[in-house]
Structure 1
């Protein structure tokens, strides 16, 4: 495919009602020639028409992994033999006409989402490697529906970095430029999706950990409404969500991932939502634009220009555009930092001296900042998270959707823990994302374009609370509007 910059992708569509029913990743001639690049939708169609099989596809994805993984280091517990065994079972079900909803589609699952028999180190060398006794809810739902699980994906220590830097896993890298990091904490998931390690990937997000790697790796990532996808263990603001090359593939995953699981006492009541109905009429939608986060790193000029061009395209399609003033304050972000430091120190401080020394030095130094906090300071920090929640809802309540950058910067050097790489200023890059974890609102990252150097730029689409389907529809609309993308990176 030809390379296109951000503005060149913004070819206005003639129709105001944008259909996403044919939005799977395709070459100019139709379905991608390499089976590893087929979308989940294309695979289900290919299996039904006997044009390919789960075994053929799984072998193609394994070959892709073997070609790329030495450079990307995106995977943990890669088990090609188990994947081929699952693919053969899937193939038999297709032959008998007893196929499951997602039968034979290859997938990866983030390391901190338990899968039976695999240890869950949480990205750190400090934890004992004890095999999980059962699948966590997201893994269980995909396995029940016939997904072929290839591997887990990497994450940084305790999931507390926006990079692939870990004391346990090898350093994960970005497929678009291996000198850069893929983002985090769903680091390996973002890299795996961009590299074509199968169509389906699951990450988790408590401050931007799906959207940041999705944005920096040029893929789609959905942070659903809090509680929409059952998860175990549940925690305030923490969600699991799909990371895919196309919006439609994420919609396929959401049909399975949202089924109820009583292990999550914070989950929403189940709703049978129309996940695959991705049409939306953009005309007259009231769309807010939040170009300034209010705190943190200044917005990169190339990111600003790209997001402004995206906003212009929505305006030309008939959306009513209004500015959303910045609302995240220093007090909010510092309060959140205090609370999360003390939360991390509860885990790290409980370790013996030998194991504590195994924690990534950056994370250990950051967590030690919570050691001397008083109870009043920790409570005040938690209260600022509630203040942030209320401010986010108040700022966005009058809009159908809000658009913003995912991050003020693009992917940075792989060896750094954050763009600033300073544990005293750990969250200066999450001002656009973190508030919508606190407010429970659904928010997605979808590729908006690329820098002159070829690095992806993420567009964040935020919806009203519980309007996950609406966020998916707006994302699919942009996916159709932006036109042909750069070819996925190859190795």
Structure 2
């Protein structure tokens, strides 16, 4: 039962073929097999989850489900507040205080009756594309336990691929949903800024679902996209037919115009196996009737470095607010990265900050000719599990986000969907980005591609013995 999608579970509950209690227990049993190796969860509370499942079962028996996710097991990334639980933000440096209220994504899924299994792990301050943390155990990639699941939604990506239930909530400010989705072979939507309200809001920061199927992410969007006044950047309430995604077929691709971006213009060079997988996906879309045209890079190293340097200064200010004994607990990689900003001048930081807007303008302009843009999610395959970043260099920390970060700053929706594997069986993600506010369109194109991409490898199973 842990393999069933959210859409399948909801249908089975409605027909009384399955109970939320037996499904939750099956998922918990599966997590128990995987978790000693994967280490993707925090605050895993089986009895609390089963109590929620019993409440959901009673509602389904009365024919009164609370919402589209009633009884569906899910996880929530550790930095999305859940009432009564602390927010360590992946680091041992912070004082643990219980959150006073559920953040908007957590509130919405709870209001819909979802069964919250656990929180999922993340690296220090969410500033690494790995599962390395000074607070949590090291999260690993279920396809290859020696490799990183990506980050910062590290535990969420690993949990999705490993079958810890069908739905997991993560966040993304530069690729933190899409990178683990790519390296773990799952689907995610980084929505338009404000489509899913979040608290606290921040420039480029978005929450989103991580699922094995596009339809499950569309189902989650029915709930997550509801407005919340706490997010000052949230979009106005809009009647979006998220359910229509489930009925999309390959014919939806006919005449759709895609740009194909194979060079980010900055950072790491695209590995040949990644390029080949994305080019193959583009050919499959063309065979289905789409129009695919090459794109020139629009990012620059100056843009990437400017954003990096601004974030270094932001993190340095945060760390200077810590007591010395707290600061000493932060991962050395993060400390070295942040402390490198100590000699930056005010002008340098201002010029770095200006690159956020320069990136936004460049991305919007480059995408204007196309309905959607195709690219790799990441230029590289996943690094060793204990590396904080693909370069393992705190002074070159963001060389792998050249394809993802521009769509945070331009506020455009962008998805990651699996498009192939390397010789060792590790998955490779295709990024599909759309125009601002066209979240539904990105989901529909992703659903159509899901049907033409060919057979997928079986999901990884827990190690035996």
Q: Which residue of 2 aligns with 1:337?
A: 308
Q: Which residue of 1 aligns with 2:401?
A: 430
Q: Which residue of 2 aligns with 1:373?
A: 344
CA–CA distance in structure 2, aligned partners of residues 131 and 165 of structure 1: 23
Give yes or no for contact 2:129–2:388 (8 Å, CA) kept in 1: yes
The reply to whether residue 473 of structure 1 matches residue 444 of structure 2 is: yes
CA–CA distance in structure 1, aligned partners of residues 27 and 258 of structure 2: 39
Which structure 1 residue ranges, 5 or more long, are not aligned? Answer: 1-34
Q: Which residue of 2 aligns with 1:327?
A: 298
Q: What does 1:324-473 correspond to in 2, within 5 Å?
A: 324-473=295-444
Q: Which residue of 1 aligns with 2:241?
A: 274
Residues 228-286 of structure 1 show CA distances to partners (whole Å, capped at 9, x for unaligned) of: 00000000000000000000000010000011111001111111201121226211111
CA–CA distance in structure 2, aligned partners of residues 438 and 94 of structure 1: 42
Give yes or no for contact 2:252–2:445 (8 Å, CA) kept in 1: no
Deviation at 1:474, TM superposition (A): 0.8
Give yes or no for contact 2:298–2:363 (8 Å, CA) kept in 1: yes
CA–CA distance in structure 1, aligned partners of residues 151 and 239 of structure 2: 31
With normalisation by structure 2, the TM-score equals: 0.97
With normalisation by structure 1, the TM-score equals: 0.92
CA–CA distance in structure 2, aligned partners of residues 407 and 326 of structure 1: 15
Deviation at 1:483, TM superposition (A): 2.6
Q: Which residue of 1 aligns with 2:210?
A: 243
Q: Which residue of 1 aligns with 2:278?
A: 307
Q: Which residue of 2 aligns with 1:95?
A: 61
The reply to whether residue 83 of structure 1 matches residue 54 of structure 2 is: no
Deviation at 1:485, TM superposition (A): 1.1
SS in 2 for 1:202: strand
Which structure 2 residue ranges, 5 or more long, are not aligned? Answer: none
Deviation at 1:484, TM superposition (A): 2.4
Deviation at 1:87, TM superposition (A): 0.2
Let me know the Cα RMSD of the aligned residues.
0.8
CA–CA distance in structure 2, aligned partners of residues 169 and 124 of structure 1: 8
Residues 116-175 of structure 1 show CA distances to partners (whole Å, capped at 9, x for unaligned) of: 111000000000111111100000000000000000000000000000000000000000
Deviation at 1:193, TM superposition (A): 0.3
Q: Which residue of 2 aligns with 1:208?
A: 175
Q: Alignment partner for residue 163 of structure 1, among 120, 126, 130?
A: 130
CA–CA distance in structure 2, aligned partners of residues 390 and 76 of structure 1: 39
CA–CA distance in structure 2, aligned partners of residues 354 and 362 of structure 1: 17
Q: What does 1:153-302 correspond to in 2, within 5 Å?
A: 153-278=120-245, 279=248, 281-302=252-273
Q: Which residue of 2 aligns with 1:11?
A: none
The reply to whether residue 142 of structure 1 matches residue 109 of structure 2 is: yes
Residues 354-398 of structure 1 show CA distances to partners (whole Å, capped at 9, x for unaligned) of: 110000100011011222222221111110111011000010011
Range with bigger deviation, 338-347 or 367-376: 367-376
Q: Number of residue pairs matched?
A: 457
Residues 427-457 of structure 1 show CA distances to partners (whole Å, capped at 9, x for unaligned) of: 1000010001000000000000111100000
